Structure 1
């Protein structure tokens, strides 16, 4: 065998790997840690789809997803430096700007919060109005999370302050269901599939349902962006290609979800997400689908809606002079939509 042929054979694996290697080199930080609070929720379905269908890998990313009990804990991981990016509620970007932290949302997963506030028919059989919740125990995914914000917001509209109720963290899975069924909590602010499971067993009377986009707009007085990916502005400035890769994967997932039927969803999500009942998960998916983003774009009026909601329950935010253009960008989403016009 000639020296030239031996050299070519030896080089073949390296040549085959070159495109992947070049792609990985093009990203400033291909290995990332992503924090999320309650990954099994329909709220974060596009994240799960991007992971399960290999969309992150297709963009040259290796994403380690760390799941917490609620969004406030995922946010703490980001601020503490143990996570690079959060899949969480949009309003955290507004809230943290008021606290001097520059975070920016880069791709939308939910165009309505999908949070449902409901009461326990066992412990509150005579419930009439939200004011009846005074002195009661309300379960949320985790204190400080968007489920807590939603509960506070609905309470405030009824003239109740956060201190008028007891807020209890119950997570986003079977623990939340058990807390309602056993009567440990009088009301719950949570998401699907937890809500659909409680509805199916008649363990929940719905008070406010933001899975319905029109109702969410009515509750919040405008479009209220929900699940998204957000990162520190410093990370975005240093790693724009990495951020673009993340956004590409989520936009593809957003579009896949809109085109998918219940059967495809059931096949794709992990079995543990179904909470032991496929029919309930299908109900939950159909209830949540309309509230999920079709293309990752943030509505221009969204940041002001979020600020107004937070200001109604937080005097510091009400006083703060905020730059709402700095809490989100559609620039990466526009590029992703041109790359994946059909998902």
Structure 2
């Protein structure tokens, strides 16, 4: 009888992997630009709540000074996945790289373009930015994309201003405060910190859907997880596990208060000012995706925005169709029912 039970137990153990397939890549490196920025809050929530571990993933997160540097790390093979802006998938398509975003974390870029009331007290229109120094997180970043779009709408060429990289940390605020730049294009909590410390005149505000629609004409896919198309095709169960964790984080954020968020994130994210961080969260909360799904018209609007200011991209037949998918999010949402 004992031998019978042992054999039965062995059979059951052998059956488990067949019914629950193992992940192809349980250990992953994820690159992110500015982990402490609220732009990447859903990732922070998933990490702090242990959602990746629940999915059988062991995730190493490598933080970079800007999203474009995280992208470069993935292209170089130093990371498998990026938490970053959707528009990078289209930019890289133009360079022959096939990338695909598989979960959306925000439907608005959350970038604010603002001028220093001290440096430009008589600012009137965006044409006044001609000849000025504009602080961006990094060259090729979404912050630069938004600044370029504002300039293009005002008839100002990109070569008529000077872009200054100020990074993705709170030190970016010091660049405006010290006069190193006259204008800032950045995200939270840097903007709230500047609003508290320094007079700002906001030119464009995409921390909420209204400002995003005013600038782009509709929802603008922003924060995502993306990777190489080949990696998705080779590791679909791993991608599904990543998606499940992120969708669960977005679900938590739907009902989370500013106090809940401030209590969850690492203390160094709070910039020694929990109240400021809470306000910064309230500022971007409307931009967060409620379910992780890409809005159908969003990718085409991203292409339109990129081609509006970049003559090189304007001449290329960019196809958003292959740069995003809702398949994994739909599966995650179905499993949560």
Unaligned runs of 5+ in 1: none
Q: Which residue of 1 aligns with 2:32?
A: 36
Aligned-partner SS, 2:268: helix
Q: Does residue 255 in structure 1 map to residue 232 in structure 2?
A: no
Q: Does residue 63 in structure 1 map to residue 59 in structure 2?
A: yes
| Deviation sequence 1:62-120 (CA, Å, 0-9, x none) | 11111111111011011111110111001111111121111001000011000000011
Q: How much has 1:203 moved relative to structure 2?
A: 3.3
Distance 1:209 1:106 in 2: 26
Distance 1:311 1:153 in 2: 10
Contact 1:108–1:229 (8 Å) recurs in 2:
yes
User: What TM-score, normalized by structure 1, do the two folds share?
Assistant: 0.92
Q: How much has 1:316 moved relative to structure 2?
A: 2.3
State the aligned residue count: 333
Distance 2:318 2:162 in 1: 30
Q: Does residue 325 in structure 1 map to residue 325 in structure 2?
A: no
Q: Does residue 210 in structure 1 map to residue 206 in structure 2?
A: yes
| Deviation sequence 1:173-214 (CA, Å, 0-9, x none) | 221111111111101000000101111223322110001211
Q: How much has 1:121 moved relative to structure 2?
A: 1.3
Aligned-partner SS, 1:26: coil
Q: Which residue of 1 aligns with 2:158?
A: 162
Q: Does residue 268 in structure 1 map to residue 264 in structure 2?
A: yes
Distance 1:132 1:95 in 2: 28
Unaligned runs of 5+ in 2: none
Q: Which residue of 2 aligns with 1:184?
A: 180
Matches within 5 A, 1:1-343: 26-341=22-337
**CA RMSD after TM alignment:** 2.1
Where has structure 1 moved over 6 Å in runs of 4 or more?
Answer: 21-25
| Deviation sequence 1:116-146 (CA, Å, 0-9, x none) | 0001111111111111111111111111111
Distance 1:338 1:119 in 2: 45
Contact 2:170–2:189 (8 Å) recurs in 1:
no
Aligned-partner SS, 2:309: coil
| Deviation sequence 1:149-190 (CA, Å, 0-9, x none) | 111111111111111111111112221111111111101000
Distance 2:200 2:83 in 1: 28
Aligned-partner SS, 1:276: coil
Contact 1:24–1:60 (8 Å) recurs in 2:
no
